[in-house]
Structure 1
Amino acid sequence: MTTTPPHRRFDRLPSLSGLRWFAALLVFTTHFVHLELSKGSPLQDVLDTVLTRTGLAGVSAFFLLSGFVLTWSARPSDTARSFLRRRFARVYPSHLLVAGLAALLMAGGGLLPGPKPILANLLLVQSWSPSQTYSLSLNPVTWSLSCEIFFYLVFPLVIGAMNRARTSSLQVFTGASFLATLVLPAIVGRLFTVAHPPAEELVDTSGYGGPFTGWFANVFPGMRLLEFLAGVSIAILVRRGAWPRIPAGWAFAILAAGYANELWLDGYLQLVGGVEIPVAILIASLAQADLAGSWSPVRGRRAAKLGELTYAFYLVHFLVLIGLGSAVKPLAVALGATADRDAPVPVWLLLAAYPVLLAVALGLGWAVHRGVEQPIMRVLTRGRRKTGTGRTELVPLRVDTTALSGGADGPGATGTGPEREKPAPIGI
């Protein structure tokens, strides 16, 4: 984490790369808590109360960020075909590899799902089913990737119209998308239900309004599309200087207050009800901070490097937690820290297990990123038109920097000086 020189601009928006990493870390933390290594102790109750919803905030950040950064880094005269080819090269080969690893792990434990759920997972259409046998099949975390694939298909259809829309229309649309996220599941949940609810769910949805409402509010791609489109709209508003300027420190305070409020919400509202708007405010605030060269706590080389690993890390982290996390309690018994496997592990072992599992997930994510994601991206996107310097040409950003910096001569002023960086793609 670093501060920046007062007059340097960052059109690459490195703070959003850093934020992407911290969002992934929140998801990892939630899944670590769900291992219930301290089950039966007051500590587990505290962890369940305070940390079990951090992953929900992280996923909401992913969806909003996805719309924002795809809009920000859109290329001139890009076609739907070339856009989808880049997205396919980025996400599918790594997904296919990790799905194979998940199948081997589950087969070893006798938990391999049937051929239809496996096929749905491989094709990334599993989130369209309210049955957790499908939506959480094979590598369960890829339900969100199933949503992302849908977003990618929608993006070329809407970006032109949203770029041409009036600022006032985008502002109304953004507010309406937030409102729909809060109220639409309640309306739909009263009209529909799952015809044959399962006797036992992989993830209990009783606290979210039942199988259908829990799925519709959290997993259904059509519902989560609202967050993605809100991210698209906010990116355009920030570019036009039409989004309120909120300092990064205040934006983080708003997010903390939103998360604290989320802990008190009931039903499906606890999924994103308290954090969606604060997360959107934070994303816009960090982008504005980068454009204006003002302070940002998540801007720095380390955060940016970790941000590059986020996708691969996200794909593998759950498998690491399930595969190695299950060994923590037997280890506690072997070390004499607990009497049996049903006893909660001591705090010191819990604190030791977290960074070890995180490091393993990061290492495996790095291997997938460097060994699969990057090479295949180079191969499948080799034919793109490039600039004379060999860098991919991007959409020229027309950013109203006077709205960000307070004047044409301020730190956010448009210029071509040596410290001004060219825009470059950042993606989820």
Structure 2
Amino acid sequence: MTCRVVAKCERGCCKIKKPSKIQTSDVRTIVVQELEFLPRLESLRGLAAVSVVGYHAFGRFTDTYVTGMAPVVLFFVLSGFVLSRSLARNDDIAVFLRHRILRLFPAAVAVVLLLAGLHEAFGFYLGFGSDFSPFNVMLNALMIRHDINGPMWSMTVECFATPVIVLTFLGGRRFGPRVLIAAISVLFGLSFIGPYAHLLGGYTNLAPLYAFVLGVALHFSGRRLVEAIGGRQMVVAVVAGVLLLYCGLQKQTAPIILLEGCSSGLLVALIAFGELQRGIRLLDQPVIGFYGRISYSFYLFHMIGLSVAVRISAIDGWPMLSILLSIVIGVLLTTPMAWTSRRFIEEPFIAISRKWRDRRREVFTTT
């Protein structure tokens, strides 16, 4: 059997070697190695999570329509891409769903219960006040509602998107990129329709749902996209980053969200498949990697830290200084909460998922 063997240098660059004769079991091993974890994408997620604090701090001190949608769209593209790689390693849907439940829900339940406890003890709440009845707390913990912790609307959308990711991955593998282009086109068309965008109620917004499908498409076609960009990779990466930042500061209309999705997709593809070395080294810094590892819990808990920071940082007549102080203090307050959640809630459940994955992989590679 003939197969292209992919080798990786220390910096993660991929080089294609000449075709060689290998066994079927070796092919399976190579496929798994190609789809291994990409630390730079995790670091990118960490930067996006920290940037959300800046967006929300800006909204606390100014009358603005800036909402922090841009980093959320980036989260969605990353999820579609990373979960497609997971499905490519193991397309057992029951196993995939079990891993998603163990990955998403424990930390989400923890932050909702913490907020319920803080409200009971001190009257503390986020936003405009919430219903802390046992039934509503349960709905928030299950991410069906998100009025207790507003930013969790994106997790409601992520749960809703899980079957979309599975179906588009299977469709893309079976029928090729055309089915993914069609799905993105349909979902983008629907993003202009208000009742569809707010179908799940509350703060949710389904307008960027196609960003997950875009991530799936990058799994299949991202390498070809990067090869087409060729030697202009660094220029394209800079343009994509600037465009994402610019769009994040605009009113979030359907075309703006599309530009956010496209620029996020370019960044993900270039980091995953490109040969960027200069600017991208920022993602290799230990502190950035740290925030990448705690990014999920950081996103869940950041409104607690920011709410306290805003009270400390408010300086009459100095809105920009207040914003900067609240960002710094908000990050400092959120970081230990996020680390604690990662260490004592996320990691034990991730370990359970890995035991299942490794057991399945061992069976896969020995048969």
Interval of TM-score (by shorter of Structure 1 and Structure 2)? 0.7 to 0.9
Deviation for aligned residue 1:248: 3.6
Match of 1:130 in 2: none
2:269 match: 284
Pairing 1:63–2:76 present: yes
Structure 1 residue 166 displacement after superposition: 2.5
Task: Report how far residue 76 of structure 1 moved.
Answer: 3.9
Alignment of 1:76-225 (within 5 A): 76-107=89-120, 108-109=122-123, 111-113=129-131, 115=133, 116-126=135-145, 136-167=146-177, 169=178, 172-173=181-182, 177=184, 180-181=187-188, 183-186=189-192, 188-189=193-194, 219-221=204-206, 223-225=207-209
Check conservation: 2:309, 2:326, Cα contact below 8 A: no
Hey, what's the Cα distance between the residues in 1 that align with 2:72 and 2:333?
A: 22
1:305 aligns with 290
1:352 deviates by 3.7
1:72 aligns with 2:85: yes
**Alignment partners' CA distance in 1, 2:10 and 2:90:** 35
Residue 220 (structure 2) pairs with residue 236 (structure 1): yes
Match of 1:253 among 234, 239, 243: 239
Q: TM-score, normalization: structure 2?
A: 0.75
Distance 2:171 2:333 in 1: 44
For 2:220 and 2:203, the matched residues in 1 are separated by 26
2:354 aligned with 1:370, yes or no? Answer: no
- The 3 A distance-change label for structure 1 pair 257 and 148 is closer
Three-state SS of the structure 1 residue aligned to 2:355 is coil
| Percent of aligned pairs with the same amino acid | 22
Deviation per residue, 1:132-169 (Å, 9 max, x gap): xxxx41111111111112222443344222112224x1
- Describe the superposition over 1:178-225 as per-residue Cα deviations: whole angstroms up to 9, x where unpaired: 6742x4333x33xx59xxxxxxxxxxxxxxxxxx7698898245x443
Distance 1:118 1:82, change over 3 A: same
Equivalence for 1:35: 60
Q: Kindly state the Cα deviation for residue 117 of structure 1 after the two structures are TM-superposed.
A: 3.8
Q: Provide the alpha-carbon RMSD of the alignment.
A: 3.6
Q: CA 1:237 to 1:306, structure 2 compared with 1: closer, same or farther past 3 Å?
A: same
- Give unpaired runs (5+ residues) of structure 1: 37-43, 127-135, 194-211, 333-342, 397-428
Write the deviation string for residues 372-405 of structure 1: whole angstroms up to 9, x where unpaired. Answer: 1101222455344449xxxx66999xxxxxxxxx
Alignment of 1:395-406 (within 5 A): none
CA shift in 2, pair 1:394/1:226, >3 Å: farther
Distance 1:284 1:316, change over 3 A: same
Is the partner of 1:327 in helix, strand or coil? helix
Give the TM-score normalised by structure 1. 0.65
Q: Could you tell me which runs of 5 or more consecutive residues in structure 2 were left unpaired when the two chains were aligned.
A: 1-8, 15-33
Question: Shift in Å at residue 106 of structure 1?
Answer: 3.4
Structure 2 CA distance, aligned partners of 1:383 and 1:395? Answer: 12
1:23–1:393 distance in 2 versus 1, CA, 3 Å: farther
- Please say which of residues 60-69 and 278-287 is displaced more in the overlay: 278-287
The answer to whether the Cα contact below 8 Å between 2:140 and 2:148 also exists between their aligned partners in 1 is yes
Q: SS of the residue aligned with 1:344?
A: coil
Task: Name the CA shift for 1:322/1:308 in 2 (closer, same or farther; >3 Å).
Answer: same
What one-letter code is carried by the residue in structure 2 that aligns with 1:141?
P
Distance 1:393 1:229, change over 3 A: farther
State the secondary structure of the residue aligned to 1:286: helix
* TM-aligned CA deviation for residue 360 of structure 1: 1.5
Question: Whole-Å Cα distance in 2 between the matches of residues 165 and 217 of structure 1?
Answer: 36
In the TM superposition, what is the alpha-carbon distance from 1:26 to its structure 2 partner? 1.9
Aligned residues: 327
Cα distance in 1, alignment partners of residues 317 and 339 from structure 2: 32
CA distance in 1, matches of 2:256, 2:200: 11
CA distance in structure 1 between the partners assigned to 2:205 and 2:303 by the alignment: 21
Query: Against the structure 1 CA distance between its residues 238 and 18, is the aligned structure 2 distance closer, same or farther, given a 3 Å change threshold?
Result: same
